[in-house]
Structure 1
Amino acid sequence: MIQEERFDNIVEYLKKNRTAKLDELSELNQVSLDTVRRDLKSLEKLGVLKRVRGGAISQEVNLPTLAFDVRSIVNIREKKELASLITNYVIDGQTIAMNSGTTNLEVARVLAENFNSLTVITNDLHIIKMLSTRQDFVVIVPGGVVDSNEDAIIGDSCERDISRYNADLAILAVNAISLEKGVTDFRLNQVGIVETMKQIANKVFVVADFSKFGRTSSMNILSLSEIDYIISDSKFPDEYRQPLEDIGIRVVTP
């Protein structure tokens, strides 16, 4: 289980229980007590919780929206690095579909800084807010239900709205990639969104930092054969490059 998924689980556990013991979190995330202690130390620095003897207690923070905020700072340098590579594959005037996720938030920053005329279809509230300040961008917002944990629009109506459009590119932020299971994610609400964006796009790009490789999460969302490009950072585990390229995926790293 990768770090951001463990962080999500801890935040959700504290939201429900207000306190957590080390052994409870160890069982929850199926990791050692030392790993739990490191995670709690990181989350304490973010103001999420206060460490106490034998565990942690929640701080008075906005826990429903904190899961996204916590993930947004995990591997932030690598996310910025890989996001910068997208400029080689985007052309002004294109239509781009982007799902919600902290990596795609960095991609959106790059798009805003480097392009003058794009149409962006997205269910991510942070991306909507960022790109809507650009008068020369068209931001298409699907209807649906707001997921406060993800700061994203989800649901059947969201997927139906997205399906009405055509896109040049789908840029998809995902949680885990393995050669055996393909692309997986712990966010149940991402399955239909990703599937719909894949279907409307001419090319499918997956953006994922190094920590997402060799991992499997709970929900299958894409097979590797459905991906045209994977964009990652300079820490990309090189043992994955040839197997991915052998099945027709172009792997792009710095």
Structure 2
Amino acid sequence: MSTLEIKDLHVSIETDQGTKEILKGVSLTISSGEKHAIMGPNGSGKSTLASTIAGHPRYEVTSGSITLDGEDVLEMEPDERAQAGLFLAMQYPVEVPGVTMTNFLRTAKTAIDGEAPKLRTWTKEVKDAMEKLRIDADFANRNVNEGFSGGEKKRVEILQLELFKPKIAVLDETDSGLDIDALRVVSEGVNRAHEENNMGTLLITHYTRILNYIKPDYVHVFVDGKVAEQGGPELADELEANGYDRFLAAVSAA
């Protein structure tokens, strides 16, 4: 059983106009076996939260805490966070010219686990995971994300999720840019990883369509850098029907 606990988190970035506070006191707790969805309008701080959990250097934590099983995540380097069991599926996966998928996946797995996986077992595991995600076998010999379509990049993110077996996964708008078939395949991969590893999942999205495939236990509405409301899956249905108007109006009134 693992728990990622975020308490009263305040995060700022430097802009041309000076320091700007993005997160204004976020508190969330995600435990093994739970699926949490974060929804909110553009600019509400959803991706900032994901990047801060992963350790992106652009984001400065000015107060608050993030712990994983009681350990201070903010004191860890990004690679140490991955070794501790945190995973980020990026909204915009980067290309890595000159590094093949095969080398990247095995090197990353070795770094996370502290030892190299047995080659025969690993090769079969990679092949099986690629087949389930409908990733062509030829992709194993291509450079990481180089020339991949948006949907192919997202499938590769979920391939990593299935192979690395994290304790807590943060999925930053994994559904963006996916057609309906790719959305279903990617969602099935997330559900497999969640169930097989008793993983905690934090899913960031604008839309409810992915929630038809990945059923959340909890939904959190982000507005203006804060959790404006939280509830069960019925809250996502309300957002689908009515949008964010009442939450934005409350912020304006305040």
| Band the TM-score falls in, shorter-chain normalisation | 0.3 to 0.5
What TM-score results when the alignment is normalised by the length of structure 1?
0.34
Q: Which has the higher strand share?
A: 2
What TM-score results when the alignment is normalised by the length of structure 2?
0.34
